[in-house]
Amino acid sequence: MEHPHRAGGPAEGERSPVAEIIAIGSELLTPQRLDTNSLFLTSQLNALGVAVTAKHVVGDDRARLASAIQTAVERSEYVFLSGGLGPTEDDVTREAAAAALGRTLEFSAAQEQILIQRFAQIRRPMAENNRRQVYLVAGAEALPNPHGTAPGQVCRTVRGALFLLPGPPREFKAMVADQVVPRLRAELPPRVIRVRSFRVTGMGESQLDALIAPVYSKYQNPSTTVLSSLGDLWVNLYAQCDTEAEAEALLREVGDPIAELLGDRVYSTCADDTLELVVGRLLRERKATVATAESCTGGLVAARLTEYAGSSDFFVASFVTYSDAQKQSLLGVPREMIAQHTAVSEPVAKAMCVAAQQKTGATYALSTTGYAGPEGGTEENPVGTVFIGLATPSAAHVTKLIYGMDRARIRTLAVQTALDLLRRELLAL
């Protein structure tokens, strides 16, 4: 279940102004390319209280583009075009925008002068086709482009405005930041936006949603999003109000009951935290260290623990012992124990974490042993069974989990669970 539940912008019911973004270029319709300009623009628009309600990618096809622009300006206050402002025949954005608005294109002598100066500055001859770039949609205001040859344009429309912006990301970003945002800020009502985040592990997305949807779904403001990747969930509440106090009050009203429902499954309320960052921080605060002894996770627990700079403060060492022989020789797991219980068993998981702890002198040690599949497994412990051991200064516990999934997901979830077991131990939960 990968999909979340509610857009980050203001709720549409309020009918705040909304935006659509159209990226232009046949190369954006190939298997290799994605429009990424829209991400930066979306973040800037959301901060101004404008939600993006649709994004489109259209090829270098004038008629198709004109029709897409026309539909968009009819239903959305702000429409942004990116790309297709270059000097070649394939660059059809100016013509399509003029056609969509029923206007003509007009030669701008002022823009021509700017372009001539620009080419003089970079000491390159201006090609004849660059003159295509100094035509403006009738009534449009030109937006300076210090990073390229194509000026942007903004045309007032019945509902709001249509922006023509250059496609190259550097030019696009600068024009959004320097030209678009100040113009929108001047015409939009001032709003305060506050966010409250919960990073959650130990439950699935549908389980989380069943738990908290009864709370958040009653509110359009704050709006709620739930993002999820395997074993990791991210709940964000966005409040948009006239004052900071109002926004904070709304976030308490909706966020406090959610916090209560989620309880200690919330591993952080910082949007940018990850589980390994939180675990590392807890270890560092306690001047504690960790080691791992991994079988089915093949080094992934260690890799997560060393993901961030400074992990040498708390991460000591790891053993990846894949075979029975290596469990014996590197970790001293007794041969008879493996013979009696198999390598995927509670006693072996316990012996592994205790050995890692003792051999490295770490405060804590995590171990994993399981059947990641697709082969292996027994009647009692089928594929997907993972034993996770945790040695603490006073004891060693083993948790048995069964994941009904494929190899990659079993490994990922086992790593996440191991890290969460350590987090809970460190917080005495």
Task: Indicate whether 257 belongs to the interface with a second copy (CB under 8 A).
Answer: no
Q: Which is nearer to a second copy, 121 or 394 (CB)?
A: 121
220 lies in the binding site for a second copy (CB under 8 A): no
Task: Name 387's bridge partners.
Answer: 369, 400
Q: Does position 27 bind a second copy by CB under 8 A?
A: yes
Lay out the site mask for a second copy across 135-154 (x = CB under 8 A, - = otherwise): -------------x------
Residue 7, C-beta contacts closer than 8 angstroms, at least 6 positions apart: 51, 223, 225
Does residue 2 belong to the site contacting a second copy (CB under 8 A)?
Answer: yes
Q: Which range binds a second copy by CB under 8 A, 279-287, 291-299, 346-354, 421-429?
A: 291-299
Nearest in space to 80 (alpha carbons), one of 91, 68, 92, 88: 68
105-113, 116-124, 333-341, 420-428 -> range binding a second copy (CB under 8 A):
116-124
How many C-beta atoms surround the C-beta of residue 396 within 10 A?
Answer: 17
Which letter, b or e, does each residue of 283-316 get, where b requires 16 or more Cβ atoms within 10 Å of its Cβ? Answer: beeeebbbbbbbbbbeebbbebbbeeeebeebbb
* Residue number with CB closer to a second copy (334 or 382): 382
Q: Which of 319, 338, 350, 364 binds a second copy (CB under 8 A)?
A: 319
Asked if 209 touches a second copy (CB under 8 A), the answer is: yes
**Nearest CA-CA partner of 138 in 114, 116, 118, 162:** 162
Q: Report the Cα 381 to chain-centroid distance in Å.
A: 36
Distance CA 149, CA 352 (A): 64
The residue type of 282 is L
Q: Which stretch binds a second copy (CB under 8 A): 88-96, 136-144, 247-255, 258-266?
A: 88-96
| Cβ-Cβ contacts under 8 Å for 141 (sequence gap 6 or more) | 153, 154, 155
Residue 104 DSSP SS3: coil
Q: Which of 157, 268, 292, 369 binds a second copy (CB under 8 A)?
A: 292
**Closest Cα to residue 156, out of 107, 106, 112, 103?**
103
Q: Between 227 and 337, whose beta carbon lies closer to a second copy? A: 227
Provide the minimum distance between the beta carbon of 247 and a second copy in the complex, in angstroms, as a whole number: 19
The mark string for 156-185 relative to a second copy (x by CB under 8 A, - otherwise) is -----------xxx----------------
**Structure tokens given for 99:** 């056609």
46 sits near a second copy (criterion: CB under 8 A): yes
* Alpha-helical runs (H) found in 76-134: 93-101, 109-121
15 part of the interface to a second copy, by CB under 8 A: no
Q: Name the minimum Å distance from CB 139 to a second copy.
A: 26
Torsion angle defined by CA atoms of residues 181, 185, 189 and 195, in that order, rounded to the nearest 10 degrees: 50
- Based on the number of CB atoms within 10 Å of its own CB, is 26 exposed (0-12), middle (13-18) or buried (19 or more)? middle
Q: Which are the contacts of 87, defined by CB distance < 8 A and separation ≥ 6?
A: 127, 129, 130, 131, 132, 133, 149, 150
Smaller CB separation from a second copy, 108 or 149: 149
The answer to whether residues 67 and 145 touch, using CB atoms and an 8 Å cutoff, is no
Contact segment (CB under 8 A) with a second copy among 124-132, 194-202, 242-250, 419-427 equals 124-132
* 315 binds a second copy, rule: CB under 8 A: yes
Q: How far is the CB of 323 from a second copy (least distance, A)?
A: 6
The answer to whether residues 14 and 221 touch, using CB atoms and an 8 Å cutoff, is yes
Min dist CB 345 to a second copy, Å, is 17
Nearer to a second copy, 16 or 292 (CB): 292
Task: Look at the block and give the residue holding tokens 């979830």.
Answer: 413
88 binding a second copy? (CB under 8 A): yes
Contact between 378 and a second copy per CB under 8 A = no
**Least separation in angstroms between CB 120 and a second copy:** 10
Q: Does 284 bind a second copy (CB under 8 A)?
A: no
407 lines the binding site for a second copy (CB under 8 A) = yes
> Closest Cα partner for 323 from 357, 301, 359, 296?
296
- Interface with a second copy (CB under 8 A), residue from 139, 263, 374, 395: 374
Nearer to a second copy, 84 or 160 (CB): 84
Of the candidate spans 94-102, 104-112, 400-408, 419-427, the one that interacts with a second copy by CB under 8 A turns out to be 400-408
